[in-house]
Structure formats: structure tokens, C-alpha cells
């Protein structure tokens, strides 16, 4: 009966932390006589006297005075109420220790967060340094490639200028040669024209001389024929 009252009072206290473990402990209590073994003064754990391994810095999870008072109001003797309160406190402390092993405190979480932030900052600095180093290498490589491209461009420009100069010189030489050939052909044409004109003049003079000779021969022939005709007419008239 006392155990049921303890469990009911503990449920009313609203202590959710470690409640399952305390419930299992309470279910094992069968009768008020089970607390008789706790009756001796040496085994009592009261709200005034905590275990030696209990850390005083830990907060109390149960209001022991209020719990003892409620147990007394339920008709439980004072020594048993104090023993029950001590057992409840012990169970809750054990539950708190077991939970503390599974979870991390705020200070440790803050330390871990600071450590992670420090590692993240270090990693970020390393990444930034690596990026700056790689960027510097890429920039140097780009400058080197730019210089090589500029050198190749100058070489190409020099070669193009040299080829253009050679082509221009060859073109000028070819133009001069063609001009000389054209001048020679013009001179030969002039010589041939002059020679042809001279031959034409000579031929015309020869034709004129032949014409005079023909006219002279024709006139002589006509005069001779006329003389012969007159002579024959005179003979016939006689």
C-alpha cells in the first residue's frame, strides 16, 4: 500500500527524468513490510543525509521535503518516508548519471562547437591559402603563355613582313623586266615601222620612175606610129 502511494506521489511530482527506472523499482515492492529492512538507522538515506558519492553540485530532481511531507500525509511513518525519499533521490541520481553518459553537457557541446569552428576556420584558411597559391600559379602560367603568344605574334609579323617585302621586291623586278621588254618591243616596232615606211617610199619612187618610163615609152611609140602613119599617107597620096 505504501509502495503504491509512493509511486502515485512520484507520478504526481511530474518528474519525467528517470521516471521509467523509478517505476520499475516501485513495481518490485510488494508490501510495506519490504521497507522494514530499511528501518535501521544506519541504512536510512534521508533528505538531510545524501550518499557519499553524490555530487553536491548536481541539482535536486525531487523536492525531498515536499515528498516526505506528502508521504507522511498518506500515513507512512517518518522513517519510512525518509527512506523512500532517499531511494527515489538515489534512483533519480543514478538515472541522471546514466543519461549523462549518453548525452553531452552544454559546456562540452560549446567546447566541441568552438573546436569545430576552430577546425573549420583552419580548414577555411588552408583552402583559401591553397586557392591563392593555385591562383598565383595560374596567373604566372597565364603571364608566361601570354609572353610566348606575344613572341610568336612578333615572329609571325616579322615573317609576314619579310615575305611581303620579298614579294614586293619580286613584283617590282618583274614590273621593271616587263617594262624593259615592252620598251624593247616598242623600239622594235618603231624600227619595223620606219623600215616599212622607208621601203614603201622606195617602192613608191620606183613606181613613179617606172610610170614615167612607161609614159615616155608610150609617147615615143605613139610618135613613131604617127610618123609612120603620116609617111604612109603621103606615100598613098602620091
Provide the pLDDT for residue 33: 37
Question: Which range has the worst mean pLDDT, 56-65, 124-133, 208-217?
Answer: 56-65
CB 87 within 8 A of CB 46: no
Average pLDDT, the chain: 75
* Better-predicted residue by pLDDT, 227 or 138: 138
Q: Kindly report which listed range (71-75, 98-102, 113-117, 135-139) carries the lowest average pLDDT score.
A: 98-102
- How far apart are alpha carbons 71 and 204 in whole angstroms? 171
In angstroms, rounded to a whole number, what is the distance separating the alpha carbons of residues 90 and 97? Answer: 10
CA dist 59 and 170 (Å) reads 108
Find all residues with CB under 8 Å of 44, minimum gap 6, and list them: 38, 79, 82, 83, 86
CA 64/CA 48 separation, integer angstroms? 9
Q: DSSP string of 165-208?
A: HHHHHHHHHHHHHHHHHHHHHHHHHHHHHHHHHHHHHHHHHHHH
Of 100, 86, 78, the C-alpha closest to 18 is 100
Tens-digit pLDDT profile for residues 128-180: 999 999 999 999 999 999 999 999 999 999 999 999 998 889 999 998 999 99
- DSSP H helical segments within the chain, as ranges? 2-12, 19-27, 64-73, 78-102, 106-237
Residue 82 CB coordination number (10 Å): 23
Residues in the chain: 238
Q: What SS3 state is found at 229?
A: helix
pTM for the structure as a whole: 0.34
Amino acid at each position: 500500500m505504501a509502495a503504491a502511494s509512493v509511486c502515485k506521489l512520484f507520478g504526481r511530482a511530474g518528474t519525467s527524468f528517470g521516471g521509467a527506472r523509478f517505476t520499475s523499482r516501485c513495481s518490485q515492492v510488494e508490501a510495506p513490510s519490504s521497507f522494514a529492512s530499511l528501518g535501521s538507522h544506519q541504512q536510512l538515506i534521508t533528505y538531510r543525509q545524501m550518499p557519499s558519492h553524490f555530487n553536491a553540485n548536481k541539482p535536486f530532481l525531487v523536492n525531498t521535503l515536499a515528498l516526505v511531507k506528502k508521504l507522511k500525509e498518506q500515513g507512512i511513518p517518518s522513517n519510512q518516508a525518509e527512506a523512500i525519499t532517499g531511494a527515489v533521490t538515489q534512483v533519480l541520481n543514478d538515472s541522471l548519471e546514466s543519461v549523462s553518459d549518453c548525452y553531452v553537457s552544454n559546456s562540452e557541446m560549446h567546447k566541441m562547437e568552438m573546436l569545430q569552428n576552430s577546425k573549420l576556420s583552419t580548414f577555411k584558411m588552408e583552402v583559401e591559402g591553397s586557392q591563392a597559391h593555385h591562383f598565383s600559379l595560374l596567373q604566372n602560367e597565364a603571364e608566361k603563355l601570354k609572353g610566348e603568344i606575344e613572341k610568336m605574334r612578333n615572329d609571325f609579323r616579322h615573317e609576314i613582313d619579310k615575305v611581303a617585302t620579298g614579294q614586293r621586291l619580286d613584283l617590282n623586278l618583274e614590273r621593271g623586266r616587263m617594262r624593259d621588254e615592252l620598251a624593247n618591243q616598242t623600239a622594235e616596232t618603231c624600227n619595223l615601222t620606219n623600215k616599212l615606211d622607208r621601203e614603201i617610199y622606195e617602192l613608191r619612187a620606183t613606181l613613179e620612175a617606172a610610170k614615167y618610163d612607161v609614159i615616155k615609152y608610150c609617147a615615143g611609140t605613139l610618135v613613131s606610129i604617127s610618123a609612120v602613119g603620116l609617111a604612109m599617107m603621103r606615100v598613098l597620096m602620091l
